[in-house]
Amino acid sequence: MENISNIYLTDYIPTIYTTPCTMQYTQNGKTIERGIFAERNGVLIIVYNKTQNVLTLVKQFRAAAYLGCIPEQDRKGIIDTEKYPPRLGITLEFCAGLEDKNVPTEQIAREEILEECGYDVPLEKLEKVCTYKNLTETTGARTTMFYCEVTDDMRVSKGGGVDDELIEVMEMPVEKVLEYANASNVNSPMNFMFGLQWFLYHKYKHKV
């Protein structure tokens, strides 16, 4: 996973995943401009394997998380990977994915669990938690969070993602996840911290 080299930034190349734009509006007579990096809506699934009593998480290299570790003055040309090793961009997250098909959100979530974590779950196993905004100022996209309990017999593959995804599935006892999340610097997104808090409060306290 960390075999990453030849990293450099280019001008923005349009993709179907992100749309940068500027919104202008007049508020109380004053013209305001706001830069927006619109992105697609997505799903996040807290997967708990109740045979093993572990949370099923995913580890992967995230380009934006890596970029955030590099000061602006060192972003020109080929990035110095001795100074900024690619492991800085490896994050631990809940299973997640973008709503890139015109099918119900539950179906997107089911497919992400299969592709990333290797569990084939019936739709009725998915418990919708809530839908929330990712970042209100920069993207405005929403994520629908689900909770899903799985058992060993639902495993049909190793998971690991599809196409250019390179995902390592990490099945961790809750105590280990808590140890990780209690560090002063955590290489995980806000939705991981939120999902973990939700799980502890609504599910885990009833299990111990």
Ligand X SMILES: Nc1ncnc2c1ncn2[C@@H]1O[C@H](COP(=O)(O)OP(=O)(O)O[C@H]2O[C@H](CO)[C@@H](O)[C@H](O)[C@H]2O)[C@@H](O)[C@H]1O
Rg over CA atoms, the chain: 19
- Decide if residue 97 touches ligand X (CB under 6 A): yes
- Decide if residue 159 touches ligand X (CB under 6 A): no
Q: Which of 53, 78, 62, 37 is nearest to 172 (CA)?
A: 53
CA 62 from centroid of its chain's CA atoms: 9
E-state strands within the chain:
18-27, 30-39, 42-49, 54-61, 90-93, 95-98, 126-133, 142-150, 168-173
Per the CB < 8 A criterion, the answer to whether 66 and 80 are in contact is no
- Decide if residue 164 touches ligand X (CB under 6 A): yes
Candidate ranges 48-56, 81-89, 162-170, 179-187; the one touching ligand X (CB under 6 A)? 162-170
Q: Give 203's DSSP letter.
A: I
Q: Which of 36, 98, 178, 186 binds ligand X (CB under 6 A)?
A: 98
Q: Residues 181 to 200: which contact ligand X by CB under 6 A?
A: 191
Residue nearest ligand X by beta-carbon distance: 42
CB of 105 to ligand X, least distance (A): 11
* Coil vs helix vs strand at 169: strand
User: In which residue are the tokens 């109380």 written?
Assistant: 28
Q: Residues 110 to 139: which contact ligand X by CB under 6 A?
A: none
The CA–CA distances, whole Å, from 52 to 46, 47, 153, 158 equal 15, 12, 11, 16
Q: Residues 43 to 62: which contact ligand X by CB under 6 A?
A: 44
Q: Which of 2, 9, 18, 20 binds ligand X (CB under 6 A)?
A: 18
Candidate ranges 19-27, 45-53, 159-167, 193-201; the one touching ligand X (CB under 6 A)? 159-167
CB of 122 to ligand X, least distance (A): 21
Candidate ranges 45-53, 124-132, 161-169, 197-205; the one touching ligand X (CB under 6 A)? 161-169
Residues lying near ligand X in the complex (CB under 6 A) are found at 15, 17-18, 42, 44, 96-98, 100, 143, 163-165, 191
